[in-house]
Structure 1
Amino acid sequence: MMNRNIINEIEKLSKRPKLFEKGTGNIWTEPYISTQMLKAHLDYKSDRASRNIEKVKKTVTFLKETTNKGEGILDLGCGPGLYAEEFCRNGYKVTGIDFSSNSINYAKESANKQGLNIEYRCEDMFNINYNEKYDTVIQVFGEVNTFSDENRNKLFDKVKNALKPGGLFIFDVSTPVHRRKNGLNKNWYVSDCGFWRGEAHIVFEEGFEYSDNIWLDQFIVIDNEEIKVYRNWFHEYTLNTIKEIVLENGFSKVNVLNGLYSKEVEEDSEWLTVIAAK
């Protein structure tokens, strides 16, 4: 039976947090969970962590029409290198950066096995300091959605500094349509072994909706040793809001496309691809 201290702690962590307040756990740096994340990235038929391999290839094919072969590409949040490898095979010079040491170590090993010349760095993308080195910077699968306005704008400044004059920042964002389709979870379960822990644990899932199209997916995880809360924040964007934000952050022009490929944006678009020029 749970004691009163555990119940009080769960009750405290279940309260609606302030906007973009961090949790006590980190899925990218904790050894067990980061290994689970890597497995999800490498499930080539799934869209759980990375898009499935066919979508990855189609995305790279589309982006080849936007960029020129041989240009330097900086892949932010590169994970295990799925996009970086495809670009390298197509003649691009690629640098991949990711916060997860598990992902970067796998990416380096994979590139070496295949004879692909890709530079990988285990680094926080908010700490990069490049000066007009790259023709294109990419960030895929909605990572921009997970940042507060302050961090998003900080990253945009980092990207602008990294781009050569006329260079492109290409990223995708999900829209409020995507969130409404997927909804908010409120659930709990007990597991002997799963994504969050390799031992017996309890998970409480919660969802919170905020103003300005901001949502939180929260997971409280309890095991024999501790209680941790993991928070995944999402700021969804419409066509007009993402255009306005990109231009306010000093990019010279912006083009927004439907989904992952070149289509006209529709009212029910779940994803938008943004092409911003320095």
Structure 2
Amino acid sequence: MPHNLFSLFSQPLKPPLFEPGEPRFWDDPHISKSMLEAHLNQTHDGASRRNAEIEKTIRHLITSGFLKTGDQVLDLGCGPGLYSSKLCFEGMKVTGIDLSRRSIDYARAQAERDGQNIDYIYTDFFNIDYKETFDAVLQVYGEICTFSDEKRDLLLNLVHRALKDNGIFIFDVSTRELRMREGLKNRWYFSEGGFWRPGKHLVLEEGFDYPENDTWLNQYIIVDEDGTVKVYRLWLHDYSFETISQTLENNGFRVEKAWNNLSGELYQKGGDWIAIAAKKV
């Protein structure tokens, strides 16, 4: 990890696949504040989908029978509790897990304000150790795409173990179509203070494509006023219906239903997203 401006020149032009960046992102004191603001912002879908879409998602999953009153639900990567709180209002018993202390603190405060009994846990969800506890596990907005194959399979193993017999894993993945439409970013800019830092800093943003692995990297190099350099990497492994179905089958799941999004739009090939309800088998 680079520590000063001169070390920038020792960085590879194209990082090896799933090379980690700065480890402290979700729980960074300033970035976590920016992320919480993005989660709650109703003008864009930058960190979370907006409330209207979240409500449509919950309603669709209930009417389609994949979630029901009384279910024990695990919300992985729950953020500030936008889905967890709505599931609780529908009579479900919810556990929410997130790696951002700021988001968990916000979620707990909201639950207390609304008189909701939601078990919010501040931890890395790779640390979970549940066994046949939940009727459903929810993980939204393509978070599973951010992991290497090895970490993804570890996560699927943990989810499989946490689910009761015939339990349902509900999640969504991005597709190659979305990535090609968004395109590679390559720009730099100076900021007086913003998402990455409260004070002056330089942002070098670059995208890399790994087509043989259906993987994409958005890399952000942040140079502080004192010359300190940190590299943040967001890896995105995209899927087709065929590849996510095979991945699930290899890890003890069977696809029960697929949509273009979690609010229930009928699945058609070529969309930006694939939403899945997979049963533990």
Q: TM-score category by the smaller chain?
A: over 0.9
1:32 to 16, 30, 33: 30
Alpha-carbon distance in 2 for matches of 1:261, 1:82 = 15
Alpha-carbon deviation of 1:25? 4.9
Secondary structure (helix, strand or coil) at the match of 2:253 reads: coil
2:57 to 52, 59, 66: 59
Alpha-carbon distance in 1 for matches of 2:97, 2:86 = 16
2:243 alignment counterpart: 241
1:224 alignment counterpart: 225
CA contact (8 A) 1:137 1:163 kept: yes
Identity, in percent, stands at: 44
Secondary structure (helix, strand or coil) at the match of 1:273 reads: strand
Closer, same or farther: CA 111–7 of 1 in aligned 2, 3 Å: closer
Alpha-carbon deviation of 1:69? 1.2
CA contact (8 A) 2:5 2:229 kept: no
Structure 1: give runs of 5+ residues left out of the alignment: none
Secondary structure (helix, strand or coil) at the match of 2:262 reads: coil
Alpha-carbon deviation of 1:6? 5.5
Amino acid at match of 1:272: I
Alpha-carbon distance in 2 for matches of 1:10, 1:69 = 53
Is structure 2 residue 220 aligned with structure 1 residue 213? no
Secondary structure (helix, strand or coil) at the match of 1:95 reads: strand
Closer, same or farther: CA 103–7 of 1 in aligned 2, 3 Å: closer
Secondary structure (helix, strand or coil) at the match of 2:111 reads: helix
Closer, same or farther: CA 25–203 of 1 in aligned 2, 3 Å: farther
1:195 alignment counterpart: 195
Closer, same or farther: CA 131–6 of 1 in aligned 2, 3 Å: closer
Alpha-carbon deviation of 1:14? 5.5
Alpha-carbon deviation of 1:240? 0.6
What TM-score does the superposition give when structure 1 sets the normalisation length? 0.95
Alignment root-mean-square deviation, CA: 1.4
Alpha-carbon deviation of 1:149? 0.3
Structure 2: give runs of 5+ residues left out of the alignment: none
1:115 alignment counterpart: 115
What TM-score does the superposition give when structure 2 sets the normalisation length? 0.94
Alpha-carbon distance in 2 for matches of 1:250, 1:49 = 30
Closer, same or farther: CA 50–253 of 1 in aligned 2, 3 Å: closer
CA contact (8 A) 2:259 2:268 kept: no
Greater RCO structure (CA 8 Å; 6+ sep): 2
CA contact (8 A) 2:219 2:234 kept: yes
Alpha-carbon distance in 2 for matches of 1:7, 1:30 = 21
Alpha-carbon deviation of 1:26? 2.6
Amino acid at match of 2:105: N
Secondary structure (helix, strand or coil) at the match of 2:78 reads: coil
Match runs of 1:142-153 below 5 Å: 142-153=142-153
